[in-house]
Amino acid sequence: MTPLPADLRLLERAIALAGEARARGRHPFGALVADARGDVLAEAVNDSLPPGGDPTRHAELLAAAAAARAAPEGGLGGATLFTSAEPCAMCAGAIYWTGIGRVVYALSESRLLALTGNHPENPTLALPCREVFARGQRVVEVLGPLLEDAAEAPHVGFWT
């Protein structure tokens, strides 16, 4: 499946949010949810702050939850979550449960793992989001990885 120009523009915004997260001293992840017209419903940066912070405050989960609260009458079936990195299993579950119908991500989980290594603040699950969504009763379309070099930039030197 080929990304649309709007997909790439919104994915670039998610990557920029990852840079903003890093500038704030947070883990460099960003996400946003846009409706079918491309209007942004919610955006978020990672706010989990391990090791002492709340590890559930990933950017994707925060954006999905905010979009669910702001959702139009018809829900989020036509919405897309754009994220700087492939959603982890926890975030994929949140995306599924909020009813978001599509995910576009930049950095793959495997490439992220190559950057973070065995860093204690980013224990990685080798479980692609496609596999999580495949276990559900409704389809969540997934497009990615895309723009991996750009998405890698906020991580360079962060995990060392």
Q: Is 30 a domain residue?
A: yes
Per the model's pLDDT, the better-predicted residue between 45 and 73 turns out to be 45
Provide the number of structural domains found in the chain.
1
How far apart are the C-alpha atoms of 54 and 26, rounded to whole Å? 12
Please tell me the predicted confidence (pLDDT) of residue 50.
66
Torsion angles phi and psi, residue 143, rounded to 5: -130, 120
Spatial separation of the C-alpha atoms in residues 153 and 157, rounded to whole Å: 9
pTM score? 0.94
Domain-embedded: residue 63: yes
Q: Is 71 among the domain residues?
A: yes
Average pLDDT score, the chain: 93
Whether 152 is covered by a domain: the verdict is no
Which tokens belong to 144? 């990615």
Among residues 12, 20, 43, 60, the one annotated as catalytic is 60
SS3 59: helix
Q: Is residue 156 part of a domain?
A: no
Q: What is the pLDDT of residue 72?
A: 75
Work out the end-to-end distance of the chain between its first and last CA atoms, rounded to an integer number of angstroms: 35
CA distances from residue 129 to 73, 79, 98, 159 in whole angstroms, order as listed: 27, 17, 15, 23
Is 109 one of the catalytic residues? no
The verdict on whether omega for the bond into residue 145 sits within 30 degrees of 0, i.e. cis, is yes
Percent of the chain with pLDDT over 90: 75
| Cβ atoms of 106 and 145 closer than 8 Å | yes
Q: How is residue 33 written in tokens?
A: 């949810």
Examine the pLDDT at 58 and tell me if it is beyond 90.
yes
Q: Is residue 87 part of a domain?
A: yes
We report the CATH number of the domain holding residue 26 as 3.40.140.10
**CA 153/CA 61 separation, integer angstroms:** 22
User: pLDDT digit string (tens) for 94-123?
Assistant: 999 999 999 999 999 989 988 888 887 777
